[in-house]
Structure 1
Amino acid sequence: MRGFFFSILVLMSSCFSSAVHGRDMVIPPSPKAPPILEVRGSASRVDAEGAAQFDMEMLKALPAARLETTTAVTDGVRRFKGFLMRDLLAHVGAQGTSVTARALNDYAIEIAIEEFDRFDVLVAYEMDGEPLLPSDKGPLWIVYPRDQHAELQDIRFDYRWVWQLRWLEIR
């Protein structure tokens, strides 16, 4: 019986939060460690300030994906581990048509969300079995499956490989 009343209390609290904020909102959990990625914009799973923040543990809880490919800035085939961008966007309830990816150095580029559905674009946190470090493109790097699709070997796609990824803005 006590569990029933607790469930009712949680449901009422959720309804009150949605009414206060004027929209259906699912408040995401807060990171336990310093956040390394912040997602803002048109998404249903953001906090009251309009952001979803993630620490590495939270990102590693997303379904893991692997990719072997060459890059324009490294030698040979590299093995990447991370999560698919489309899985992250689904996790935050993205409702836009584009994402602006921004790095620690403020480099930014707009990417159509359609690309993440069309290609297995990875947000890597490991390369060749080692964590990506801020001193070498980490802790997060957007990686395209360039060896699997000839069209991705065009230089226009190389600009979308944002390393030291820190922010995403969904529009």
Structure 2
Amino acid sequence: MAELRRLPRSVPERVVHLDNHHDLFTRVRTVNGALISLNLLILLVASLFPWPAAVISASQRTGDSSDQVTASLLYAGIGFLVPLSFIAVYSYLARHPNLLTESTQIQYIRTARRRTFVSIVVFPLTAALAVVSPFLALALFIAVPTFFLAAVFIQEQTENGDAAALAGNEPS
């Protein structure tokens, strides 16, 4: 349990944000002022994660249950803002497909936007769960980035034509 408390809680979230950000912007052909502003919004909000992660860590070490609940609510609040910023970018690109590379299908943007809505639901649910059990909320905070890493991996494999390998069926 002590080792779990020392885990840098912002690392999984930051890896997912950077991976999604990189995946998104490799599909962008050109940018304009609005897209740059929306991109900066993503980076600003994602850069806040170390703060609530440090608060959770401190509350686990030295705080009482009330401190742990408050820290979890703070983390959930920041976690809720990140997908909102991604959805803003996806929505903008859906309305401005001329900014995307020719090989990027608008379906990618729609799928990514729908997938991001998972966080819009999960972070408020996690905040509610934190009131009952901060430890279970922490477990869910760890599960969310795992879901997104798996989803991006599956999408990349499917786009690369590796769906058969992904399913465990090697082509003959």
More strand by share: 1
TM-score over 0.5 (shorter chain): no
- TM-score of the aligned structures, taking structure 1 as reference length: 0.28
Instruction: Give the TM-score normalised by the residue count of structure 2.
Output: 0.28
